[in-house]
Every structure is written in structure tokens, then in C-alpha cells.
Amino acid sequence: MARFSLVLVSLALALLSSATPMPHSASVPRDATKLAYDEVAKRIIAYDAHGTHLGFVKHESIQSKRDGGACSALSSDDVQKLPGWDTLNQKARDNWGTGSRKVVTNDKDLPEQPAQVCAEDAGDMTINGDPQCTTQSQTLDTTVTGTNGTATVSQTTGTKYSSSQTVSQWLPLPSERPSRSQSGSPKIANMTEATSLTATFTNTLSNTETSESNQQTTQTVAIAVPKDSTCGVSFDVTTCTTQGSGQVPFVATGWVWFEYDKKTKGHYKWALNIDDILSNKDDRSTFMKFNAQVSTDTNGEYEATC
């Protein structure tokens, strides 16, 4: 019997020595959709969607993605509010069963696999009704006198945009509302034209922020003036007000950990990639909605009245 045991041990050692070693990587492989944490070896193991081992991820070499700009940490409560949470939860059950476990994001022991929610471009603003416009004639404070049939003046033409955004539905995640976040560029319309404004939002109900975009230009132009005549210079100013509404999408990204009370498939801690499992962005998005009042001031061409 002792001899038989020795043969078994020798065979096991031979199999281990002939096995292909798993590669080590400084970052999570691109096609990894699942991770496991080996608490004994203190290392992370990456797997693809079919459960194939992709290698070990070096635990110390990955830099944590820090909060900043339009991103905030996604809490475990927040991830369970995502539209696609049921899909994530069911994927975990399919992989590792229904045993007792905790849902964890941004595990302090695993800072290299963060979960965040980030603001994206606000997209096109919906215009509610037709713009309300008025046109008035304005006169320069100075007069021009022609000596050779022309006079030059400094002319400012084009449109200046101003938008006031008021939050009508604040963002229910993250749980701690971010103080400020840069949206993308909500597109607004002026008659048949369109422009974009870079807007700043505060995730607080009824809070109003104002954004401006001055697209007026100033140039020197020649105006025909009869010889020895004195002329006043006038121009039309068209002011329009438009009511609109829009929404700023916040999209979840990163990893959610399922930390089991008992080992399942050889590990206590398993993670799913939010971006991969919820490939439809709508399933990992939530929205902050706003109403807007957009004003435009458009200066027309200058004319001389003699």
C-alpha cells in the first residue's frame, strides 16, 4: 500500500511540473469578464466569459482609478439600483450559485478594480415650442463722416448664447450627490441653426446654473458715406428666447464583487465586469434631467443713415 501511495504522489508531481504556467499580467486582460481573489496567494485570477483561465493579475502593480471630474465612486447600494441589476445578479447566481454573500464595490482590499459612475455628453436638448423673438434697431453712439465716399467702423456681428439650466430630477446615484459635474455639450437651436454649450450642473433639485457662449465677431468694415456728409450707424439686434429640456446620462463602469460566506468554485470573492455583462449602455445608466431657458442676441449688419 505504501508503494502505491508513492506512485500516486509521484504521478501528481509529474503532472504539476509538466503543466503550462499561467501568465502574469500588470493589468486585467481585455477579454476578462470575471475575476476571483485568491486569498492565500493574495492574487487576482482573470477568466473570460467561458470560464477559461487568462492568468494572474499582479495585485500591487495596478493603479486605482481615482475619482475626478465627472466621475464618482459607485457604492454597492447604487449598483443594485441600476436598470440592469437583475441581469448582473442572475449572472452571479448562474456562475456561483445562490449561497449567502455580500455585494461589494470598491473593496478596500482590492482598490485596483474600482466601480464608478461617470457623466457623459448631455446630447441634444429638446426644444419645447417655437422661439419667441423680437427685433430692435440700435444706433452707435458715434457718427461717421466721409471724405472720400467711404468710412470705416468696427462692426460686431453674430450671436451670443446664454442658457440657464434648472435640475428637474436629481440623480439618485451615487448615494452621496456629487457637488458639481461637467456635462457634455447640450446642443441648442437658434431658428434653423444649432450650437453647443458646455454646461455645469449641480446634482441638486431645482438648482440653476448659467452657461454662455459668445460667437460674435468684431471686424473693421467700410461703409459708403456721401462726401462731406455725416451719418449715423445703426444695426438690428434680434433677441430670441427658447424653452427646452434635456438629460445628462451617468454611466456605471468597472467591477462589482460578490463576496460569499463559503467558498464557491474554490474562492470566496468573485467579480463581474459591469461593462461586459451590461453591454447595453441603457442597462447601466441613470439620468439627471433639467429644464432650460436659452436666450440668443444676434447683431445684424451695420447700415449708415445720412
Domain assignment of residue 140, yes or no: yes
Domain assignment of residue 11, yes or no: no
Domain assignment of residue 7, yes or no: no
Q: Are residues 64 and 203 in the same domain?
A: no
Domain assignment of residue 211, yes or no: yes
Q: Are residues 70 and 160 in the same domain?
A: no
Q: Residue 156 belongs to a domain with what CATH number? A: 2.170.15
Q: Are residues 143 and 220 in the same domain?
A: yes
- What pLDDT is recorded for position 59? 57
Q: Are residues 300 and 262 in the same domain?
A: no
What pTM, to 2 d.p., does this model score?
A: 0.65
Domain assignment of residue 13, yes or no: no
Closest CA to 183 of 118, 127, 244: 118
Q: Are residues 112 and 191 in the same domain?
A: no
From CA 213, how far away is CA 115, in angstroms rounded? 34
Q: Are residues 296 and 205 in the same domain?
A: yes
Q: Are residues 106 and 158 in the same domain?
A: no
Distance from chain centroid for Cα 131:
29
- What pLDDT is recorded for position 85? 96
Domain assignment of residue 6, yes or no: no
Domain assignment of residue 17, yes or no: no
For 164, residues 6+ apart whose C-beta sits below 8 A from its C-beta are 208, 209, 210, 211, 292, 293
Q: Are residues 58 and 184 in the same domain?
A: no
Q: Are residues 201 and 294 in the same domain?
A: yes
Closest CA to 102 of 259, 269, 255: 259
- What pLDDT is recorded for position 187? 57
Residue-wise pLDDT tens for the chain (306 aa)?
A: 333 232 222 222 222 223 334 444 557 777 888 898 988 888 888 888 888 888 888 654 333 343 344 678 888 998 999 999 999 999 999 999 999 999 999 888 787 788 998 888 777 778 787 788 899 998 876 667 766 777 788 888 888 888 888 888 777 655 444 444 444 455 554 444 667 777 777 777 888 888 888 888 998 888 877 777 778 888 899 988 888 888 888 899 999 999 999 999 999 999 999 999 999 999 999 888 888 888 888 888 888 887
- What pLDDT is recorded for position 261? 95
Q: Are residues 297 and 274 in the same domain?
A: no
- Using one digit for the tens of pLDDT, what is the confidence trace for 214-260? 888 998 888 877 777 778 888 899 988 888 888 888 899 999 999 99
Question: Residue with C-alpha cell 447601466?
Answer: 284
Domain assignment of residue 147, yes or no: yes
- What pLDDT is recorded for position 23? 47
Q: How many domains does the chain have?
A: 2
For the chain, the maximum distance between any two Cα atoms, rounded to a whole number of angstroms, is 126
- Using one digit for the tens of pLDDT, what is the confidence trace for 63-83? 334 334 467 888 899 899 999
The parent domain of residue 107 ranges over 23-120+250-286
Q: Are residues 132 and 115 in the same domain?
A: no
- What pLDDT is recorded for position 303? 83
Q: Are residues 90 and 195 in the same domain?
A: no
